[in-house]
Amino acid sequence: MFSPTGLLTLLVIAAVAWRLGTARKSSTLAPLPPGPPADPIIGHVRIIPSSRPELSFQKWAKEYGYDVIYLNLMGQPAVILNSAEAAVDLMDKRGAIYSDRPDFHLFEESGWRDVLTFANGGTPSVANRKILRKALSNRSFRSLICGGHFLRNSQAHLILSVAHGIKITDNNDPFLVLAEKIAWYFAHGGSPGSTLVDILPFIRRLPWWVRIFPSLNFARDNYPIIRQFQEAPFAAAKCPIGSGVSEISFVRNMLEDMQLGTSEESGITEDDIKGAAGTMYAAGADTTLSTLVVWVLCMVLNPEVQKKLAKKSIASLGGTTYQIEGNCPSQIGWCTRQLVVQLGFPHKSNKDDVYKNMFIPKGSLVIANAHAITHDPSVYAEPDQFNPDPYIPTSEGEAGEPLPVGYFGFGRRVCPGQYLGTASVWISIASMLATFRISKELDKNGNEIIPTPGMTTGLESYGS
């Protein structure tokens, strides 16, 4: 009998040998991008921290003097892009090469089905993207928006209302409880594409009683929750009108179009609609909520900035309607620097490529380091300071620093829900600034408690 350690060693050696044996040899003479020294067999796995890896990637880029670095994950090549220039050059301008996704085995093992965010090429991915682009275009999403409450249930309410027509009734609503479990899952699942299940996918064949791999345990333990979340809201959306579900929602509209044969996209199935609706939550509600949580923390720690922004928000809200266009970019641009998605979702290259005389092998994970991009000292004078003023245009007397790019992704993988996400964050922030004063908690003696937050490591990074 092999011990757990011995079994793991054999699995690692077998996996790396397979990767090296099947790797395509390139005729190019260009070197790989620079990176830290690697260990035999396992590559850089040992030196990549499990918590906040984006900080190490940024540090290595500075040390080696390149905005592109190379890592070896047990034979899986990975390329980290630490500047907006590199991300735009590859993911936008060379989208034909860098628009694929790797196989996210952790998410598959967890039970996610037909979610566009996790999908590589193929018919379901194309169908989901088409119907989501239509439903979440800058014009279309407004007809679906329903009201809600702040923070804890506002974003879950918004997405569940838009996608499924579900109305959150109280803080113990079963759909809200389920959504919070999904939020915890995304915040604690590790960096997408870099867990042991993703690197060594054959461990998924192990029986359920084998409990020696934490990431595999995590995926399997959360399987019932993921399946419930994808199935239950969709089933509720199909209920007759008058059963507590709105007659206007993405799911109901798409189902009616499918049944009547009026959909512009032929061949759409119920599974396509279910997957697209699941994508709305997986890619939207949790990132928006975590953005607002981090923003509230920033307001607590920076009361002087809060006062200044409150005056502008009261003025911009004015009248009886929210003015989204025009005000939004200059007002919330500073918030994107406090990104909750610290590493972009991995892309995968589908052919060998050379960038600035650096060789990028076919099949590489290509990841935009959002933290490094939004904290680039060559672009932002004080990247670590919380200060919205530098984004104000030079015509208004400020520095006119560019708004961060890429927080909705790059190239052909840009998020279809960017308009809904931007509007949702803007409305929530402007409303809170205009109506609340956010302050520090007081202890029993009346003294302010200074929060000392940490951040989780996962699909989203939460304050903890």
Instruction: For residue 20, give the 3-state DSSP assignment.
Output: helix
Closest CA to 439 of 431, 423, 450: 450
* Residue 320 confidence (pLDDT): 44
* pLDDT per residue rounded down to tens, the chain (464 residues): 445 555 555 555 555 554 554 444 554 578 999 999 999 989 999 999 888 888 999 999 999 999 999 999 989 999 999 999 999 999 999 989 998 888 888 888 898 876 766 766 644 455 555 665 555 554 444 444 443 344 555 677 777 888 888 877 777 888 888 888 887 888 788 777 778 898 888 999 999 999 999 999 999 999 999 999 888 888 888 876 555 566 678 888 888 877 776 555 556 778 888 888 877 776 666 677 777 878 888 888 888 888 887 776 655 555 444 444 444 444 455 555 555 567 888 899 999 999 999 999 999 999 999 889 988 988 888 888 887 788 878 887 778 888 777 778 888 888 777 777 777 788 788 888 888 888 888 889 989 988 877 666 655 555 55
For the record, the structure tokens of 162 come out as 């838009």
* Antiparallel, parallel or unpaired: β 353-355 and 68-73: unpaired
* Residue 138 confidence (pLDDT): 47
65 by Cβ neighbours in 10 Å (0-12 / 13-18 / 19+) ranks as: exposed
Neighbours of 42 (CB within 10 A): 18
177 by Cβ neighbours in 10 Å (0-12 / 13-18 / 19+) ranks as: exposed
How many helices and strands (H and E) does the chain possess? 18, 6
The Cα 74–Cα 19 span in angstroms is 8
Contact by Cβ (8 Å): 277, 234: yes
280-298: string of b/e by CB count within 10 Å (b at 16+)? bbbbbbbbbbbbbbbbbbb
Neighbours of 442 (CB within 10 A): 10
415 annotated among ligand-binding-site residues = yes
DSSP state letter for 382: S
* Residue 264 confidence (pLDDT): 56
Annotate 178-225 with DSSP letters as a single string: HHHHHHHHHHHS-STT-SHHHHSGGGGGS-TT----HHHHHHHHTHHH
Strand order in the sheet with 365-368: 68-73, 76-81, 365-368, 347-348
HSE, side-chain direction, 13 A CA sphere, residue 312 = 15
* Residue 332 confidence (pLDDT): 52
* Residue 305 confidence (pLDDT): 84
* Residue 36 confidence (pLDDT): 96
Say which residues have a Cβ less than 8 Å from residue 134's Cβ, sequence separation at least 6.
140, 264, 265
The Cα 189–Cα 107 span in angstroms is 9
DSSP state letter for 395: G
Mind listing the domains of the chain with CATH numbers? 4-435 (1.10.630.10)
* Residue 19 confidence (pLDDT): 53
Radius of gyration from C-alpha coordinates of the chain: 23
Please give the angle made by the CA atoms of 314, 320 and 326, to the nearest 5 degrees: 60
The model carries a pTM of: 0.76
Please list the helix, strand and coil fractions of the chain in percent, rounded to the nearest 5, in that order. 50, 5, 45
Annotate 403-457 with DSSP letters as a single string: PP--TT--GGG--TTHHHHHHHHHHHHHHHHHH------B-TTSPBP-----B--
The Cα 10–Cα 12 span in angstroms is 5
Q: Estimate to the nearest angstrom the gap between the alpha carbon of 163 and the chain centroid.
A: 18
For residue 79, the one-letter residue type is V
